[in-house]
A and B are shown apart, each in its own frame.
Chain A
């Protein structure tokens, strides 16, 4: 079966750096996505990786290793507003998105 694994919850301090990992086992691979979801709100798109390596976008970066079935989302200079759930999703060989359960990130002052 297809599977996306992420930690359920993480805690970090304001101003620090946090890395949220995602491992996947899917039928084929056509890209990996990260979305941010604040409590009670809709998910919003953060990043997309289809080739190995690091994609940087401001304070957020996303890394992909296709051979290891692994990605991470790196958040720098954490702010209180970064408290949210972070969802990892993989597009499989049928171009359908398979979603992880999400990682709830708690930022403490």
Chain B
């Protein structure tokens, strides 16, 4: 693993199903983020975690949940998927403090289609 790994790369999902997007980083970054990217809109923050054991809500948290049991993993769960959650999801991480703060490293993305 080098950087951030996301899985799955792509998924088609029936509405109402539960889905977990996985994210793992090997950079020992404290902060991790989940964004969604939709055509014509900027990246929108769903949830974030400043350090293991803590999480916070971003701009568009409804319908999503996260956990941060350890430094490396930050899964995103859709409890009951709806078509408006069709999007490309990016996991990102950053060091906290100093020059590294908020310089994000992104995973390759997970393209989710909810039918």
Chain A residues engaging chain B, CB cutoff 8 angstroms: 4, 8, 31, 33, 35, 41-45, 48, 87, 89, 91, 95-102
- Secondary structure type dominating chain B contacts: loop
Q: Which residue of A lies closest to B111 (CB)?
A: A40
Given A8-B40, A33-B102, A43-B104, 14 new contacts (CB under 8 A)? A43-B90, A44-B106, A45-B104, A87-B42, A87-B43, A91-B102, A96-B45, A97-B43, A97-B104, A99-B42, A99-B43, A100-B42, A101-B40, A101-B42
Q: How many residues belonging to B are interface residues under a CB distance threshold of 8 Å?
A: 17
Q: Are A33 and B42 in contact (CB under 8 A)?
A: no
Per-residue CB contact flags for chain B residues 48-70 toward chain A (1 = under 8 Å, else 0) read 00000000001000000000000
- Secondary structure type dominating chain A contacts: strand
Residues on the A chain within 8 Å of B106, using CB: 42-44
Residues on the A chain within 8 Å of B105, using CB: 45
Q: How far is the CA of A3 from the CA of B108 in the complex (A)?
A: 26
Q: How far is the CA of A4 from the CA of B44 in the complex (A)?
A: 13
B15 within 8 A of A: no
Q: Which residue of A lies closest to B41 (CB)?
A: A101
Q: Are B102 and A42 in contact (CB under 8 A)?
A: no
Q: Are A42 and B42 in contact (CB under 8 A)?
A: no
